[in-house]
Each structure stands twice: as structure tokens, then as C-alpha cells.
Structure 1
Amino acid sequence: MSLSNKTAIGILWNFSDQLLRRGMASLVTLLLARLLVPEDFGLLAMVLVFLTIASAMMDSGLQQAILRMPTLGPRDASTAFFSNIAFGVLAYGLLYASAPLIADFYAEPRLIVLVRIGGIVVLINSFEVIQGAMLNRALDFRTRMKAGIPGSVVSGGVAVLLGWLGFGVWALVGQMLTAALVTTALMWWWGSWRPRLEFDVVSFKAMFRFGYKMFLSRMLDVLFVNLYVLLIAKLFSASVAGLFFFAERLKELVINQLVTAVQNVTFPALASIQADPVRLKSAYRQILQVMVYLLFPAMLLLAALAEPLFLTLLPERWLAAVPYLQLMCIAAVMYPLSTLNLNVLKVKGRSDLFLGLEIVKKVLICAVLAVTWRHGVMAILIGQIVVAVVSYIPNAWFSRELINYSIREQLADFLPALLLASAVAGTTWWAVPALLAIWPAPVVLVVSGLLAGAAYLLLSCWLRFAAWQYGAGWIQERLSQRKVGNTAC
């Protein structure tokens, strides 16, 4: 099977996995929003800041090192596996010991037990990282889907039950722990890879030379992505942090669905052609065109339809999160562009440049936050948009240097989709207030969403967008193969 077909099938399986899991997560989040209050989500947001840092320490960049190695022996994988477990134990120990300090920082005593119990997820996930990397490396996303969907279903049921019984924030913690436990167990049940009782110091040093820079980059990213929640929880209240966190969670349900599905498949696939710059550039152009074609309208229409969405699905106490979600979606438009350009550095093994770019962006975040934090949450979110736009420039610069994919070429590849999505979403955003005055919110949501989506698809077909042609060509090829197969039978 060709690389393009193998990658396309991998994306399809991974997209299906993400779609079902994110769909379940969306349903559970909406149900929990009716059972819990913003303060409960705010408490979880405070905890997740530190759990995410501990998870980055546990991974230490070894998963990325495994994925980019041209050849991988059994000793290499076993070395990475036992290293992850050791790092996981260390990370949880630090988390457990620092729980009282975290509670003191927020002046919230409940965080001590929440951090210590919730932190167990780091230990559980340390058994999953390399098993998952081996499946990713083989582009076996079908097995990942078989493990992930039951985890989402079971953990969602546990969360809703605990929320209904009045356990508050513990419903969210229970969901997190159950999802990790079930998914990890099933991944080991269905995955074929097993570690050997061996450890290669030379292999560890080689992987860690690449991985530690990815770890430092990841740590910087985690610290500064969560800096917004940390700052809002400290400056305002758990309720405001909960509204911010809830809006961010809804945004990520959409953006991670699309970006994660593509990135999980394309990184190992593109790593296999890293020595061929012509093929690598061509593949990146196609991936960027397809990703922005899907993501731009998704994020901008989510912003345009945020108010009828909240009025339809959520209690009134969550309406204050609508403007937060709208600004987050605008900032997220730049996310796939930055992600793909940074992927070039990872595929080329330039973790030094990756780390340097992360440091530059974090300095920019600090500078913008120094100006915006005094002016409230909305100002902080406008600052996010500024950071997202400015950060794209250095990310794209190195794609020109490494694979000759210039900023001008990138603009030519993504600007048509951005302009069309902006026009469709802008028209929808303008029409929504008038429609809400005469129609119920559910009707506005469904009718506006369908009309806007249809307009985007038809106009992109009429304008002959490259992504539309890729998709149509791939579908025709698959149908032709199936027809030939049926004829042969």
C-alpha cells in the first residue's frame, strides 16, 4: 500500500476514533454542565494545570523520539517504556509532595486531596505512552479506536452518575481516572507489542538527546497554555476560571478532533520520507490545505453560533462564557498553521529550533499578559489572538529554510479558505441576533449552521479549492477500488 493511501486510511480511523470519543466527551460535558456549577469546573482547571505539567515530565519527549526513529529495535522500545514508568513515579511523587503548596497558592484547601487523587492518572498513563507510540508508528489507529471508545463511554457514565449523586468536582476527577484506566488496559489487551526486561543506556541517551528538548518545549508550552487559567483563577475566582475553562474545553472538542486526527497520523508517516525534501514539501502542502479547509469554517462558525448553541444546550448560568468562546475560536484559527510548521522541525529532528521557538513565543506571551491582565478576561483573550498571529511568522520561517515552503506559498495555500470561511461566518454572526429575536434558539442553531455549512461547501467547490479536489479524488479512487473488488468477486 502506498504511503498516501496508508496515511489516508490512518487519518480516517484516527478521525473516527476522535469523532466518537470527542462526541461522547461533548455529550458528557453538556450533561455535567447541567449537574455541576462553574466553580466545580474551576477547581478541576486548577488541578489540571499541575497534572499536565506532571504528564509532560512523565513523557519527557520519549514518545516523539520513538516516532521519529527510522529503525526501532525491541531494546529501544523497552528502554523507553521503563524510562516512562520511572519518570511517571518521579512526577507523581513531586505532585503529591507539592499538593499543600498548590492549595496555599490558590487559598483553596480542597485542592490537596484533589491533586493527590487526580495525580494517579499520571501513573496510569505512564504505562500507555509507549504502547500508544508503537500503534501510532504502525499507523494502527483501528486498535487505538477500539481501546479509546470504551474508555470514553465508561468514564462518561461514571462522571454522570457521580454528578447526579451530588459529588460535584469528584465527578470530573472520576471521569479522568476511569478513562485513563480503561483505555490503557484495553490498549494492552489488543496491542501486540510487549516490553522485554532489558534497558539500553546507549539507546536511552540517544532518545533523550532528542527527547529532552521536546520535553522542555512541551513543559514551556504546558506552563504558558495553562498560565491563562492559573492567572484567572488567582486574580478572579474559581467560578470565572470555571467559565473560562468550560469555554476552552468546548473549543478543544472541535479543534482537537481535527488537528489531533491529522497530526497523529502525519508525523510518523512524514518521518518516513524526511530524507526526500521534494516529497516532504508536497505532502505538507496537501496536509495544510486539507486541515485549514476543515478547521477554518469549524472554528469561525462555532464562534458565530456560540450564543444559540449555549441557549439551546446549557443552563443560563453558563451564558457568561459565550464571549470567551468566541474570542478563543478566533485565536484558534492560527493553531493548525503553527502546528504543521512546528511538525517540520520535529520530522527534521531539529528539536533545538523547536525549543528556541517555544522560548521566543513564551516571552511574547509574558509581554502581552503584562499589558492585558489588569483589564480583565476579555483583554487577556484578545491578547491570545495577538500572540497566535505573531507566533505564526517565526514558525513559518523555518519551514522555508528546511523544506523550501515559503510564507508566500503558505499564504497562497491557506488564504482562500480563510477568506471564504470568514465571509460565511461573518454573515452568520451578523444575522444571528436578528434571527434570535424571531425564532427559538434551537431553530436558529440548526438552520443557520446548515445554511452556512452548505454555502461554504458549494462555494469551495465552485472556486475549485485544492482541498475539495483532493477529497473528491480520494473518494473516487476508493469507490473505483471497491467496484473493481466487487467485479473480481
Structure 2
Amino acid sequence: MANVTTRLIKGSLWLSLARAIVNGLAALSTFILAWNLAPSDFGVVALGMTILMIVSTVTELSLAEALIRHEAPGESHFSAAWTLNALRGLVLALFFAAAAKPAALLFEEPRLTGVMLALGLSVFLSGLTNPRRIMYQRDLIFWQEFVLAVSQKLTGFIAAVAIAIIYHSYWALVIGTLVTQATNVAVSYLVLPFRPRITFRHMREFFSFSAWLSAGQIVNTLNWRFDYLLVGKMLGNTALGYYSVGSNLAMMPTREATMPLTQTIYPGFASIQNDPARLAAAYQRAQALLTAVALPAGIGVAVIADPLVRLALGEKWAPVIFIIQALASVFALQTLGSLVQPLGMAKGETRMLFVRDTQMLLVRVPIMVAGLLLAGLPGVVVGRVFTGLCSAVVNMVLVRRLIDLPVMRQLQANLRALVSVAVMAAGVAFAAGQLPHTGDRPMLALHLATLVALGGFLYCAATFLLWEAMGRPQGPEREVQTILGKLLAKLRPARRQA
């Protein structure tokens, strides 16, 4: 247990550094592009990306997860995975080429034709990625993920920003995606050389694991992306641009704060899947740490959304403030049960995950449609908040079924984080209300910095005081204390030598 936890923590540190860099570049890219492009530009690309995500997920084979769970994958397994991925990428590229014009006519958007053709090339490139690099994740080694994540984000950032500044065109978003994907393919072979062979062996072996998982991914993507198509068709590209940018910015703090742990946790769970006691203990520790990071990140962004948007994006993007406030909060709260996905995969309960996703789709579609018809874009956002909270409850119930961990015990493990973030949100909201309204950018920057510093202080102080009052129990605070202790121990010899 200790060895697995240590390796997970090391992996999380590698990925934390990568995500910090990627997060910074992503945020900076969004801000620069928002200043140089119109909301409708984001809307047309969001349409193409939504179609790409739905079609890609419908044909997803989940080969990486199958390789991780396999006891001893060989070269033939990797070649078979490469063959399947390459063939799938080619078929999807041809499909996008054929569907480009009809999609443009359906959504009454001529620019969608070129976007679809370019994204077809992107999905073809993704099929050529080196499947053998998944062995690093399987062995809980994550330095190569740092190289991949940073390199592809940096090249995509440079390409997108350059085109946006020079041409002020929506092609900045498309070409940035293409450059990112091409870099991913090239670097994947540099970090771990591999010469693939075309083979169709192990087909039954792959599909026996991935069938339910792939079906669940199809339903899950429809579940969380069909609203983009709904908004684009019913409300137009400008509304979709606001919705897309607002959703991405709302998701970013929670996603980037938790991605390092969520990327490492599935291999960790898979390695102890046959030891129920260790698996339950590992889940509780990982979930508590995840929530302790996600809650202040997501809800913190929600309470500073107003000055953040006005400073970073400008007044023309003011409609996204409400979207960020609503969705950033629910994304953070959804992490209370979000690790059910890797937990279910590790235990081979992919059918259960598929049933969950199907049930949520059947609930979510009518709610989102009703919200749009009754209140337009705000109704869609409210519907998404409601269904997101329902999803968190369902996930915690599934965790109980998988590892016999009651829902109340799951909430108790996150009690300090929940109370501390409530203190933080109340304090920052009160302080924001006392600050004078201003359009001056330096003053907005000062207000934002003040609120961020106050929020960080309130959350950390409340967490520490609660931890002390409860007798310093096991939890995220102890994990952080252990990590800092190890870092300080390593730094002391270096200082002595210096």
C-alpha cells in the first residue's frame, strides 16, 4: 500500500507540474484568443469539436485501458492496438470529409465545412499515436506524460496565438488543434521508440474488456456534449460561443487541479484490485485529497468570476460570468464521487458504469431541452447544474456498491474541505461586495489579486483549524504534511553541500 501510494504521489507531482504549465498556457491562450476573436468564432469551432467528440467516442475502442489492465502485454498487443487505432482514424477522417458539407447546411454555417475537414485530419493523426507509451502509466511512471503534455500544449499555443493576432480568424482555434495533435504523435515515439506492424491479432481479447466501457463512453459523451449541438442549433453560434467559453473556463480550475491525481489513480487501483481492504483505503485517501484540491479551485473561481472575466476577457464576454459562477461550482462538487469511474474500471464493472451513463442521459436530455425552451441559455445552465448534482449523488451510491463504503462515510471524509470552502466562499463573496465597481483594468487586477489571496488564506486557515480541533486525523492534511516533509528532507543535504 505504501509503495503504491508513494508512486502515485510521485506520479501526481510530475503531472501537477505538467498541468500547472498546461493550465497556464490554456488560460493565457483563452484570454488572448477571446480578445482577438468574436464569440461566433468560438461557436463555429465548438460545433465542429462537439461533432468530433461525439463521433470519436462512438467509435472509441478503449485500447489504452485494456493494455493497462492486461497482465503481460507484448509487442503483438501494441501492434494490434496501433493497427486498430490507425484504421479507426482513417475511417473517421473519410467520414468527416463526407459529412462536412451536410453539417454546414444543417447548422446554416458555411464556415463549418472547412472546420470539419481540418478536424478530420486531426482525428486521423490521433490514430497514429504510439500505444506503447501506455506502459509508463501501467508501471506508475509519469515523466513522459509531462513531456507529452507540455510539448503539445506549447506548440499548439504558439500556433493558435500567432494566427489569432495576425489574422483574427477562427482558423487560429483549428490550426492550434492540428499542431497539438501532430506534436503529440511525434513526441510519443520520441519518449518510447516503437516500430508498429499491421496485425489484427488479439481482437477478441481487446473487445471483451472494452465493449461495455466503449458503450459507456458513447453515452457519456452524448450526455455531456449534446447540449452544445442543442444551443448551436436553437440559439445560434454567438450564444454557443458564450456557452463554450464559459463552460471551458468553469471546468478548467477543477480539471487542472485534479487531473494529476485522476490520471494516476486508475493504474493504482488496477494494481490492487484483488485486495478489497487496500482498494477501499486507497479510494478514501485519494478521494479526500481530490476533493480538498478541487473544491477551493472550482468554487474559488466561481466567486471571483465577475472581476476575472471583465479583466481577462473584456466587457463583450460579460454573459459568461453567470455560466462560470454556476458551472464551476457544480464541477467542483461533482468530484465528491468522480473517482467511481477508475474504481469501476479497475474492478471490471464497466457494465455498471454504462448503465449509470445511460440513466443520466435519459434524465438529462428532457431537463436540458425544457430549460432551453423555458429560459434560453440560462435555462440550459440551470439544467446542467441540477443534473450535475444528481450525478454526484449517483456516483457516491455506486461507490457504496463497489467497495461497501456508505455515502455518509464518503461525505465525512470530505467534511473539513466542505466546511472550509463554505467559509472561503462566504468571506470572498462578502469582500467582493464591499469593493467598488470599476472598469479600470489595474484596479480590477488589484481587486482580483486581493480576493484570490483572501480566499486562499480563509480556506487554508479554516482547514488547519478544523484539523487541529479534530485531533489531526488521517486525511489530505497528513498527506500534504508527509510530502512537504520529504521535500524538506531532500533540500537540506543540497543546502549543506552548497
Alignment TM-score, normalising by the size of structure 2 = 0.93
How far off its partner does 1:51 sit?
1.2
Mean CA deviation greater in 235-244 or 434-443: 434-443
After the TM superposition, which residues 137-286 of structure 1 pair with which residues of structure 2 at under 5 Å, given as runs? 137-200=138-201, 203-286=202-285
Hey, what does 2:350 align to over in structure 1? 351
Asked whether the 8 Å contact 1:10–1:265 carries over to 2, the reply is: yes
- Hey, what's the Cα distance between the residues in 2 that align with 1:485 and 1:199? 53
Hey, what does 2:117 align to over in structure 1? 116
How far off its partner does 1:484 sit?
7.3
Mean CA deviation greater in 285-294 or 373-382: 373-382
Measured against aligned partners, the alpha-carbon deviations of 1:125-171 in whole angstroms (never above 9, x if no partner) come to 11226244233223332122223322222221111111122251100
Hey, what does 1:442 align to over in structure 2? 445
- Hey, what's the Cα distance between the residues in 2 that align with 1:260 and 1:24? 16
Hey, what does 1:401 align to over in structure 2? 401
- Hey, what's the Cα distance between the residues in 2 that align with 1:461 and 1:480? 22
Hey, what does 2:324 align to over in structure 1? 325
Asked whether the 8 Å contact 2:254–2:332 carries over to 1, the reply is: no
Hey, what does 2:389 align to over in structure 1? 389
Mean CA deviation greater in 392-401 or 17-26: 392-401
* CA-based RMSD: 2.2
Hey, what does 1:470 align to over in structure 2? 479
Measured against aligned partners, the alpha-carbon deviations of 1:79-112 in whole angstroms (never above 9, x if no partner) come to 1121111111122222222222211221112211
Equivalent position SS for 1:2:
helix
Asked whether the 8 Å contact 1:63–1:129 carries over to 2, the reply is: no
How far off its partner does 1:273 sit?
0.5
Unaligned runs of 5+ in 1: none
- Hey, what's the Cα distance between the residues in 2 that align with 1:104 and 1:335? 37
- Hey, what's the Cα distance between the residues in 1 that align with 2:297 and 2:308? 14
- Hey, what's the Cα distance between the residues in 2 that align with 1:398 and 1:160? 43
How far off its partner does 1:196 sit?
4.3
For 1:282, the aligned partner's letter is A
Kindly indicate whether residue 424 of structure 2 is the aligned counterpart of residue 424 of structure 1.
yes
- Hey, what's the Cα distance between the residues in 1 that align with 2:410 and 2:424? 22
How far off its partner does 1:467 sit?
0.9
* Counterparts in 2 of 1:323 and 1:129: CA distance versus 1, 3 Å: farther
How far off its partner does 1:183 sit?
2.2
- Hey, what's the Cα distance between the residues in 1 that align with 2:227 and 2:423? 30
Mean CA deviation greater in 129-138 or 118-127: 129-138
How far off its partner does 1:210 sit?
1.9
- Hey, what's the Cα distance between the residues in 1 that align with 2:7 and 2:462? 30
How far off its partner does 1:486 sit?
8.8
- Hey, what's the Cα distance between the residues in 2 that align with 1:381 and 1:451? 28
Hey, what does 2:126 align to over in structure 1? 125
- Hey, what's the Cα distance between the residues in 1 that align with 2:224 and 2:200? 34
- Hey, what's the Cα distance between the residues in 1 that align with 2:22 and 2:137? 17
Measured against aligned partners, the alpha-carbon deviations of 1:180-222 in whole angstroms (never above 9, x if no partner) come to 111220121122444345442xx22122122122112111111
Asked whether the 8 Å contact 2:130–2:189 carries over to 1, the reply is: no
How far off its partner does 1:46 sit?
0.5
- Hey, what's the Cα distance between the residues in 2 that align with 1:341 and 1:148? 25
- Hey, what's the Cα distance between the residues in 2 that align with 1:269 and 1:209? 22
- Hey, what's the Cα distance between the residues in 2 that align with 1:352 and 1:473? 38
Asked whether the 8 Å contact 1:54–1:95 carries over to 2, the reply is: no
- Hey, what's the Cα distance between the residues in 2 that align with 1:150 and 1:143? 11
Asked whether the 8 Å contact 1:58–1:88 carries over to 2, the reply is: no
For 1:389, the aligned partner's letter is L
Identity between Structure 1 and Structure 2 (%): 22
Asked whether the 8 Å contact 2:39–2:241 carries over to 1, the reply is: yes
For 1:322, the aligned partner's letter is I
Hey, what does 2:470 align to over in structure 1? none
Equivalent position SS for 1:119:
helix
* Counterparts in 2 of 1:58 and 1:362: CA distance versus 1, 3 Å: closer
- Hey, what's the Cα distance between the residues in 2 that align with 1:321 and 1:486? 48
How far off its partner does 1:10 sit?
0.5
Equivalent position SS for 1:338:
coil
Hey, what does 2:303 align to over in structure 1? 304
Hey, what does 1:453 align to over in structure 2? 456
- Hey, what's the Cα distance between the residues in 1 that align with 2:310 and 2:463? 30
Hey, what does 2:379 align to over in structure 1? 379
Hey, what does 2:70 align to over in structure 1? 69
Asked whether the 8 Å contact 1:7–1:139 carries over to 2, the reply is: yes
Kindly indicate whether residue 95 of structure 2 is the aligned counterpart of residue 86 of structure 1.
no
Equivalent position SS for 1:180:
helix
Asked whether the 8 Å contact 1:58–1:122 carries over to 2, the reply is: no
- Hey, what's the Cα distance between the residues in 2 that align with 1:455 and 1:167? 41
- Hey, what's the Cα distance between the residues in 2 that align with 1:281 and 1:295? 21
- Hey, what's the Cα distance between the residues in 2 that align with 1:416 and 1:270? 25
How far off its partner does 1:75 sit?
1.8
- Hey, what's the Cα distance between the residues in 1 that align with 2:281 and 2:195? 36
- Hey, what's the Cα distance between the residues in 1 that align with 2:220 and 2:13? 28
Equivalent position SS for 1:108:
coil
For 1:353, the aligned partner's letter is M
Mean CA deviation greater in 96-105 or 276-285: 96-105
How far off its partner does 1:268 sit?
0.8
How far off its partner does 1:463 sit?
1.2
Asked whether the 8 Å contact 2:160–2:175 carries over to 1, the reply is: yes
For 2:131, the aligned partner's letter is I
Hey, what does 2:34 align to over in structure 1? 33
- Hey, what's the Cα distance between the residues in 1 that align with 2:158 and 2:410? 44
Measured against aligned partners, the alpha-carbon deviations of 1:1-20 in whole angstroms (never above 9, x if no partner) come to 92111111111101111111
For 2:488, the aligned partner's letter is L
How far off its partner does 1:370 sit?
3.6
How far off its partner does 1:478 sit?
4.1
- Hey, what's the Cα distance between the residues in 2 that align with 1:59 and 1:135? 21
* Counterparts in 2 of 1:193 and 1:476: CA distance versus 1, 3 Å: farther
Asked whether the 8 Å contact 1:57–1:87 carries over to 2, the reply is: no
- Hey, what's the Cα distance between the residues in 1 that align with 2:363 and 2:95? 29
Kindly indicate whether residue 293 of structure 2 is the aligned counterpart of residue 294 of structure 1.
yes
Asked whether the 8 Å contact 1:62–1:207 carries over to 2, the reply is: yes
- Hey, what's the Cα distance between the residues in 2 that align with 1:396 and 1:326? 24
How far off its partner does 1:253 sit?
2.3
How far off its partner does 1:40 sit?
0.5
* Counterparts in 2 of 1:34 and 1:481: CA distance versus 1, 3 Å: closer
Hey, what does 1:479 align to over in structure 2? 488
Kindly indicate whether residue 57 of structure 2 is the aligned counterpart of residue 48 of structure 1.
no
Unaligned runs of 5+ in 2: 468-472
How far off its partner does 1:372 sit?
1.1
* Counterparts in 2 of 1:364 and 1:177: CA distance versus 1, 3 Å: same
Asked whether the 8 Å contact 1:436–1:444 carries over to 2, the reply is: no
